[in-house]
Amino acid sequence: MLDIKYIRENVDAVKNACRVKGFPDVTDEILALDARVRELKTITQTKTAEKNKITREIPTATDKASLIAESKKITAEIAAEMAELDEKEAALRELIHRVPQVPSPDAPIGRDDADNVVVRVVGTPRKFDFTPRAQWDLLDMNGWWAPEKIANICGTRTYALMGEAAELELAVETYVIQKLISRGFKFITCPSITKPQTIFDAGHFMGSDLSVMNNDVFMLADTDRCLAGTAEIIINSLHAGDVLNEKDLPLKYAGFSPCFRKEAGAAGRDTRGLMRIHQFNKVEQYVFCTTEQSDEMHEHILQNLCDIMADFELPYRVIANCTGDMGFNKVKMNDVEAWFPSENTYRELGSCSSIGTFQSRRTNTRYRAADGSLQYCATLNNTGIALPRALIPILENHQNADGSVNIPKCLQPLMGGRTKIGGKH
C-alpha cells in the first residue's frame, strides 16, 4: 500500500496511477477522510487536555459539582468523537488498500498485453526440416504422461509426468536452484499452505476484503488456511515486523514450492497440455533491498532468468509490460517469453517485478539505515523457473523427427550424461 503522506503530497501521480492501471480513482475520498481524521485527532487531543485540566482543578474547587458535570460532558463528547475517529480511520485504511502502486515513468502506458513493448529478442527460432510436434504429441508418443487417467483420478487441469520427462523436470528444477545459489541466493523450501492474510499482505488484490481472492485462490474448507500460488507469498512475510540492518541488504532468496491456482479467469484457455494447470512447481527469486538498490536488483533477477533461457538453448524475448498489464502492486514489470514452435509465437515463462515499498508497508518490514532512521524495504520478485510450463519450449525446440528430444548441454550431467530422451532409442 502507499503511504498516506505520499498520497497527500503526490495527488496527481496517484490519480494518474489509478487511470493508467485501470483501477477506480478514490483519491479525493481518501483526502477528504484523511482531513476529517486529522481534524478529529486534533479535537480529541484538545478536549482530552481540557478534561485533564478540569480533573486537576476539582479537588481544590469550591464548586465541584459544576466541574464534575463539565468533565462528564467533555468525556461524552470525546467518546462520540473517538467512535467517529475509529470509523473514519477504518474507512481510510480500506480506501488506501484500493490505491494501486504508482508505476515507473519508464513503464509503457497501455490497457492490456496488446500494448506491451518488446525490449529485446535473443536467439533465432529454429527452422525445422520436418513438421514440429506440439508438446502433447511428444508426450503421447513417448509415453511420458497419461492425461485422461490423471483427469479421471484428479480432475481437469492436473498432470503427472512419467519416465524421462519426469526426470527432465527434476533436472531443470535442480539446475536452476543450483545456479541461483551460486549467484548468492539463499535456498528455501516454502510451504504451500498459508493464511489468507499472508496473501493479502503480498498486495496482489485490491482492497482488504479477502473474499476477492476466491476466484484465484484455493481456500481449505473448515480451516483458516488456503493454498499459495507462489513462494513469493511466503517469503514476502518472512521478515514481517523485523528491522533488518542496511549492511545486510540486499537479501536474496530462491524459494521452491508446489503452487496452486484456480485459473478461474482462464476458462477455456490452454485446456490441453502443460501450459495452464492447477498445481505446478516453481522456483521463485525474491529480494529485500533498499529503494536505491531496487533498479540494480531488478536487472539482476531479470538477467538470471534470461541466462537460464540461454542455458536451456531457447530463443526468447524480453517484454516491458504496460501499465494496464502489470497488475495492482507493481512499479515496473518485464515478462520473459520463450519461443513455442507449435504455436509459432512467444509465450511467457516468467515475470520480473519491482514492487517498491508497497508490500513491506503491509508486513512492516523495515531496515535501520546508516543515519539511524527506520526505512521500509523495497521488494522484488521474478520467476526462477516454473514447471511443467518451461518443459514445453524445451521439448518443442529440441525435438527430432523421430520424436526424441535433445537434452540441453547444461542439463546432461543431471540426466546421467544422456544427450537425448525419447524416440526410437
What whole-number distance in Å separates Cα of residue 302 and Cα of residue 213? 28
Architecture field, domain 4-96: Orthogonal Bundle (1.10)
Whether 354 and 332 have beta carbons less than 8 Å apart is answered as yes
Helix, strand, coil proportions of the chain in percent (round to 5)?
45, 20, 35
Question: What is residue 374's three-state secondary structure?
Answer: strand
Please work out, in degrees rounded to the nearest 5, the angle formed at the alpha carbon of residue 185 by the alpha carbons of 294 and 334.
45
Name which of 117, 119, 96 is nearest 33 in CA terms.
Answer: 96
CATH 1.10.287.40 residue window(s) in the chain = 4-96
Residues of the chain with CATH 3.30.930.10: 113-421
State how far the alpha carbon of 367 is from the alpha carbons of 72, 156, 207, in Å: 45, 45, 26
Residue 267: the pLDDT is 58
Q: 412 to each of 123, 161, 417, 420, how far by Cα in Å?
A: 21, 19, 5, 9
pTM above 0.85, yes or no: yes
For the stretch 374-425, pLDDT in tens is 999 999 999 999 999 999 999 999 999 999 999 999 999 999 999 999 997 5
Q: What is the architecture, at CATH level 2, of domain 113-421? A: 2-Layer Sandwich (3.30)
Residue 24: asked if its preceding bond is cis (omega within 30°), the reply is: no
CB 250, CB 296: distance < 8 Å = no
**Is the distance from CB of 367 to CB of 375 less than 8 angstroms?**
yes
Give the model's pLDDT for residue 393: 98
- CA–CA distance, 128 with 400 (Å, rounded to integer): 9
**Could you give the CA distance from residue 383 to residue 336 in angstroms, rounded to a whole number?**
9
- Span 133-186, pLDDT tens digits: 999 999 999 999 999 999 999 999 899 999 999 999 999 999 999 999 999 999
Active site members: 261, 276, 348, 351, 389
Cα separations in angstroms, 389 against 12, 38, 128, 213, 319:
40, 51, 22, 23, 18
Q: What type of residue is 14?
A: V
pLDDT of residue 269: 63
Residue 265 has what pLDDT?
58
Q: How high is the pLDDT of residue 268? A: 61
Residues of the chain with pLDDT under 50: none
Alpha helix segments (H runs only) across 252-324: 294-311
Pick from 113, 129, 169, 77: which is nearest to 407 by CA? 169
